[in-house]
């Protein structure tokens, strides 16, 4: 059978496949998770991904950009899967979940550091569950013996000290925005952000009345409209630095997003260095390169220099 390259678009998924007589690769996007940011597009070494701006209709709110991927270009290396802050992508080989670059330790995973101490929780508090913009948290109250009870039942129970709270967070899908941490009245949650950086709006360039960035931002509070000047302002505390806003912003340099660090598992890989270089500013990249001592890239460069001198 000759090579087949397929693309299937359904309401909730977009799948591309490469089918050979003896092997089968697929990449699936979960449209319900994808926010249309630029991270995968920047990372993909084959330039297979295109984040398409949705044209804005007059008088309507800005729409999130749309993810598209070329079934001809994709090589199913899987770099896009671990880098996606929202875990919207999934690579399979012969039907099994498998990320080739992770398998061969050629790419890191993002570190999603979220810790909860449920012993600190108020029994009937579900603030975190309510504040999570992605609905990743569920709070449960367990009666002695492990039976789950509702908050009303809990409130009417006499011996509240026997009740236990269980906070369930789907960490793998979390972009680590910290909304829950800051909302929690008891300081029970600790979240470390995946990415740090700078997000600024240049108020002089930002046109009056525009709030396109705010309309597409997946994290409430990272951007907000200030009633006093009717302009959008930023709050880096919540920003996950996905970059969706930069895609829709109609004015050059009105919005500046600069990723500085990315929290990831240790890896020694040229591919990661390159991705990092593209995702962050070059200065930051060289800082990481320095702190992690000699990377392969630097070694390679030196080797080449030596070779040249020798010949």
The residues that touch another protein, with contacts defined as CB under 8 A, are 1-4, 18-23, 45-46, 75-79, 100-101, 103-107, 268-272, 274, 296-297, 299-300, 303-304, 307
**Minimum CB distance to ligand SF4 smaller for 70 or for 246:** 70
Q: Which of ligand SF4, another protein, none does 200 bind, CB closer than 5 to 8 A by kind?
A: none
What's the token pair of residue 166?
Answer: 């269980």
Determine the Cα–Cα distance for residues 274 and 267; give it in Å rounded to an integer: 13
| Least distance CB 1 / another protein (angstroms) | 4
The enclosing H or E element of 262 equals: strand 255-262
Determine the Cα–Cα distance for residues 237 and 311; give it in Å rounded to an integer: 54
From the number of C-beta atoms within 10 Å of its C-beta (0-12, 13-18, 19+), residue 38 rates as middle
Out of 72, 75, 150, 235, name the contact with ligand SF4 by CB under 6 A: 75
Look up tokens 């702190």; give the residue: 291
**Minimum CB distance to another protein smaller for 72 or for 237:** 72
Look up tokens 């297979």; give the residue: 48
**Minimum CB distance to ligand SF4 smaller for 106 or for 244:** 106
For residues 94 to 133, the per-residue mask of contacts with ligand SF4, x marking binding by CB under 6 A and - elsewhere, is ------------x---------------------------
Out of 29, 34, 39, 49, name the contact with ligand SF4 by CB under 6 A: 49
Q: Which of ligand SF4, another protein, none does 198 bind, CB closer than 5 to 8 A by kind?
A: none
Going by C-alpha positions, the residue among 196, 194, 240, 183 that lies closest to residue 217 is 240
Q: Which of ligand SF4, another protein, none does 292 bind, CB closer than 5 to 8 A by kind?
A: none
| DSSP conformation class of 56 | P
DSSP states of 105-116 as a string? T-SPPBP-EEEE
The enclosing H or E element of 181 equals: helix 179-183
CB atoms inside a 10 Å sphere around CB 74: 24
Stretch of 69-77, 185-193, 205-213, 251-259 lying at the interface with ligand SF4 (CB under 6 A): 69-77
The answer to whether 27 contacts ligand SF4 (rule: CB under 6 A) is: yes
| Least distance CB 75 / another protein (angstroms) | 5
Q: Which residues lie below 8 Å from residue 274, measured CB to CB, with a gap of 6+?
A: 45
Q: Which of another protein, ligand SF4, none does 262 bind, CB closer than 5 to 8 A by kind?
A: none
Q: Are 28 and 81 in contact (CB under 8 A)?
A: no
The enclosing H or E element of 256 equals: strand 255-262
| Least distance CB 177 / ligand SF4 (angstroms) | 24
- Binding positions for ligand SF4, rule: CB under 6 A: 27, 43-44, 46, 48-49, 69, 74-80, 91, 106
């Amino acid at each position: 059978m000759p090579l087949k390259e397929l693309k299937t678009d359904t309401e909730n998924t977009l799948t591309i496949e490469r089918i050979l007589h003896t092997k089968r690769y697929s990449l699936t996007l979960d449209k319900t998770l994808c926010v249309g940011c630029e991270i995968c597009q920047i990372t993909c070494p084959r330039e297979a991904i295109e984040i398409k701006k949705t044209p804005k209709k007059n008088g309507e709110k800005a729409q999130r950009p749309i993810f598209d991927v070329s079934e001809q270009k994709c090589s199913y290396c899987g770099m896009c899967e671990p880098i996606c802050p929202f875990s919207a992508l999934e690579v399979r080989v012969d039907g099994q979940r498998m990320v080739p670059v992770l398998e061969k330790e050629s790419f890191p995973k993002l570190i999603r550091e979220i810790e909860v101490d449920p012993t600190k929780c108020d029994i009937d508090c579900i603030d975190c569950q309510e504040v999570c913009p992605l609905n990743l948290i569920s709070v449960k109250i367990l009666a002695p013996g492990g039976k789950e009870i509702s908050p009303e039942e809990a409130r009417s129970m006499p011996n509240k000290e026997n009740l236990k709270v269980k906070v369930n967070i789907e960490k793998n899908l979390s972009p680590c925005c910290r909304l829950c941490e800051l909302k929690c009245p008891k300081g029970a949650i600790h979240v470390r952000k995946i990415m740090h950086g700078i997000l600024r709006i240049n108020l002089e360039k930002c046109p009056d009345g525009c709030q396109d960035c705010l309309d597409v931002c997946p994290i409430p509070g990272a951007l907000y409209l200030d009633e006093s000047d009717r302009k959008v302002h930023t709050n880096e505390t919540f920003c996950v630095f996905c970059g969706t806003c930069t895609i829709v912003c109609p004015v050059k340099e009105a919005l500046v997003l600069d990723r500085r660090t990315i929290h990831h598992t240790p890896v020694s890989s040229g591919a990661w260095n390159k991705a990092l270089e593209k995702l962050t500013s070059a200065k930051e990249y060289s800082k990481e390169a320095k702190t992690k001592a000699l990377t392969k890239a630097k070694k390679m460069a030196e080797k080449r220099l030596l070779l040249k001198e020798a010949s």
